[in-house]
Amino acid sequence: MTADSVQSLIDQLHEEAALDLPDAETPEVGIVMGSDSDLPTMAGGKGKRPGAHAALVEELGFAEQTDYRDPPEARFTFETFVVSAHRTPELMTAYAETAEARGLDVLIAGAGGKSADLPNMTASIAYPLPVIGVPVQEKSVDSVIGMPQGAPITAVDAGKSFNAALTAAQILAREHGQLRERLVAYHQDLQEDVGEVSRDLHELGTPGFKAAYWDSET
Ligand code: AIR
């Protein structure tokens, strides 16, 4: 028996897939995670490093689409769901099998624990849509990347959902010059930061650098 709240999500996904909306109105990226306890890793925050949400919104100008029928102004959007491979296998299947018809171009799937099966099962069902797996914990890495020959998944290291978002944008950028420019600008900023820190460390010396950078943080 499928719970009502899950069945209503499954029905919604199938209805949306049948709408056949234009590409520009549907999310490009779909983010799914096994539990809302994965959110600090998948989205960032709560003492965690920035995650996929920060990469997409703050670095690349995406907006989160919370209503499939009412897209935000931003040209590039993503959506987010909790989908558990073991607690809600029917929802995982419905999400993965409707993803392409719902206009998604790339999926990011994260799960934790030793049986982190959401990324690899989503990749199998959504094929040929590319899926980027995020092992939420170190102990999830083998489970996420251990796919048999012919059943591909792309994966990042444990917890690196930020990089998963960059990879998703790299895939999209082959078709969208605007995204390519944003990725290049992001990388440029990253380089500037390293260059500035390097010069400051060199010119202030280690004690001066510590005083300038570390003391101001406390
Ligand atoms: N999980 C949830 N359903 C299947 C799996 N493998 C994973 C979640 C989370 C961990 O189990 O991705 O990382 C613990 O979930 P929870 O909900 O107990 O906090």
- List, as one string, the DSSP characters of 159-215: T-HHHHHHHHHHHHHTT-HHHHHHHHHHHHHHHHHHHHHHHHHHHHHHHHHIIIIIG
Atom of ligand 1 nearest to the CA of 117: 6
Atom of ligand 1 nearest to the CA of 137: 13
For residue 47, the model assigns a pLDDT of 76
For residue 91, the model assigns a pLDDT of 98
Residue extents of the structural domains in the chain: 4-175, 177-218
Ligand 1 atom 2 nearest Cα: 34
For residue 48, the model assigns a pLDDT of 80
C-alpha 172: how far from its chain's center?
13
CA-closest candidate to residue 55, choices 144, 134, 151? 134
From the CA of 208, how far away is ligand 1's center (Å)? Answer: 45
From the CA of 32, how far away is ligand 1's center (Å)? Answer: 12
Classify residue 113 as left (phi > 0), alpha (psi -120 to 50) or beta. left
CB distance 85 to ligand 1 below 6 Å: yes
From the CA of 113, how far away is ligand 1's center (Å)? Answer: 6
The pick from 6, 32, 38 for probing ligand 1's pocket by mutation, whose C-beta has the most ligand atoms within 8 angstroms, reads: 38
- Cα separation values, 197 from 182, 200, 218, Å: 23, 5, 19
* pLDDT tens across the length of the chain (218 residues): 899 999 999 999 999 999 999 999 999 999 999 999 999 999 987 778 899 999 999 999 999 999 999 999 999 999 999 999 999 999 999 999 999 999 999 999 999 999 999 999 999 999 999 999 999 999 999 999 999 999 999 999 999 999 999 999 999 999 999 999 999 999 999 999 999 999 999 999 999 999 999 987 65
CB distance 144 to ligand 1 below 6 Å: no
Atom of ligand 1 nearest to the CA of 87: 3
Helix (H) or strand (E) segment spanning residue 107: strand 106-111
Global model pTM greater than 0.85: yes
CB distance 136 to ligand 1 below 6 Å: yes
> Which CATH code fits 4-175?
3.40.50.1970
Atom of ligand 1 nearest to the CA of 84: 3
Three-state secondary-structure class, residue 106? strand
In the chain, the amino acid numbered 79 is E
CB distance 113 to ligand 1 below 6 Å: yes
- Give the tokens for residue 183: 């990725």
Q: What is the DSSP string of 127-153?
A: TTS-EEEEESSGGGHHHHH-PPTT---
DSSP 8-class letter at 45: B
For residue 218, the model assigns a pLDDT of 59
Contact indicator for 112, 82 with CB cutoff of 8 Å: no
Count Cβ atoms below 10 Å from residue 113 Cβ, excluding itself.
16
For residue 42, the model assigns a pLDDT of 97
Q: What burial letters (b/e) apply to 102-111, b meaning 16+ CB within 10 Å?
A: bbbbbbbbbb
